[in-house]
């Protein structure tokens, strides 16, 4: 059983590849060195291989604000190229790709039917629009007898993350550690009352594997568990044994949407309310921070 994975070296990609390998799949990858998606013909090296699945996780995300156009054009390019390749050379494969919760406009309920409503948050607008464009491309293939899934995960966390990952949770981990070791302050943006959803990486992998039995669906993938930024910071401080009261709050910074959580009612209905694995945040954060400590000194 052959599987093509783009973005296999990213955080979610690494965990997904490990799961697929444990199930006996043979993994082929596309990255900047092998079958670079910026040129669709690079994928021709796989023309003689028949894939059961194509998992598309590759995305150009780390971009300076002054180069947002590059992010927009590159992501549209790689998304279009992999879809074109799948459609024309691997139509028997199921195409599984990933959207982003940032594509939901701040003022709408984060339910799948609202994905295209209104404008995404300005900070992530161009990147979010490339994700919307990818879904539009899939939906345009009506009558082509192609099978696909478009999954929208909530914020994923866990061990084996890139130590320079700039998402807020990993910033908390680094800043708490640094503040514990030095006199530098641990600062969070805003007053900390912002609400965010988190899902442990092993839990999201389980849900991804479950959804593979469905065709041509858009599905939010989360656990419905939300926490305030203050609660998350307090948990991180507790694991490091750092005095939470020493945290400083910069009220001048843009802290984003006041509440960001996706509806998982569709997934619940599709699973007949099956009880998926749920890793408590305290356990998940301990594993995440242990990974950080081990790799910081290795």
Taking residues 148-158, report their average pLDDT: 97
And the tokens for 108?
């709408």
pLDDT at 27 over 90: yes
And the tokens for 237?
């401080």
pLDDT at 298 over 70: no
Please give the Cα distance from 21 to 24 (Å, whole number). Answer: 5
- pLDDT single digits (tens) 37-47: 999 999 999 99
- pLDDT single digits (tens) 132-143: 999 999 999 987
pLDDT at 15 over 60: yes
Please give the Cα distance from 151 to 103 (Å, whole number). Answer: 12
At a CB cut-off of 8 Å and minimum separation 6, what does 263 contact?
A: 109, 110, 111, 112, 220
The pLDDT mean for the chain works out to 94
Count the Cβ atoms, other than its own, within 10 Å of residue 76.
17
pLDDT at 50 over 80: yes
- pLDDT single digits (tens) 64-91: 566 778 889 999 999 999 999 999 999 9
Looking at per-residue confidence, does 85 or 33 come out higher?
85
Helices 11-22 & 201-211 angle (0-180, nearest 10): 60
What torsion do the CA atoms of 278, 272, 211, 125 make, to the nearest 10 degrees?
A: -80
Comparing 13-17, 109-113, 292-296, which segment has the lowest mean pLDDT?
292-296
Helices (H) and strands (E) in the chain, counts: 8, 12
pTM of the model: 0.95
- pLDDT single digits (tens) 212-224: 999 999 999 999 8
């Amino acid at each position: 059983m052959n599987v093509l994975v783009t973005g296999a070296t990213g955080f979610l990609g690494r965990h997904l590849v490990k799961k697929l390998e444990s199930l006996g799949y043979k993994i082929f990858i596309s990255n900047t060195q092998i079958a670079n998606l910026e040129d669709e013909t690079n994928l021709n090296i796989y023309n003689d291989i028949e894939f059961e699945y194509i998992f598309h996780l590759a995305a150009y995300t780390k971009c300076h604000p002054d180069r947002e156009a590059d992010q927009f054009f590159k992501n549209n390019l790689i998304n279009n190229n992999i879809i074109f390749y799948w459609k024309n050379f691997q139509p028997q494969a199921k195409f599984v790709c990933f959207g982003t919760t940032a594509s939901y406009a701040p003022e709408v309920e984060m339910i799948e039917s609202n994905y295209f409503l209104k404008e995404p948050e300005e900070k992530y607008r161009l990147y979010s629009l490339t994700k919307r464009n990818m879904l539009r491309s899939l939906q345009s293939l009506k009558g082509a007898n192609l099978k696909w899934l478009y999954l929208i995960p909530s914020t994923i966390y866990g061990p084996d993350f890139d130590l320079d990952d700039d998402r807020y949770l990993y910033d908390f981990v680094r800043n708490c550690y640094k503040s514990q070791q030095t006199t530098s302050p641990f600062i969070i943006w805003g007053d900390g009352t912002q609400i965010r959803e988190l899902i442990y990486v092993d839990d999201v992998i389980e849900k991804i594997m479950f959804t593979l039995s469905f065709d041509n669906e858009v599905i939010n993938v989360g656990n419905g568990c939300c926490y305030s930024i203050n609660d998350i910071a307090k948990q991180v401080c507790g694991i490091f044994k750092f005095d939470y009261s020493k945290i400083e709050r910069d009220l001048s910074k843009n802290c984003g949407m006041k509440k960001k959580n996706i509806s998982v009612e569709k997934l619940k209905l599709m699973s007949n309310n099956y009880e998926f694995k749920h890793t408590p945040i305290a356990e998940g954060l301990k594993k995440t921070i242990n990974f950080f400590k081990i790799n910081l000194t290795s």
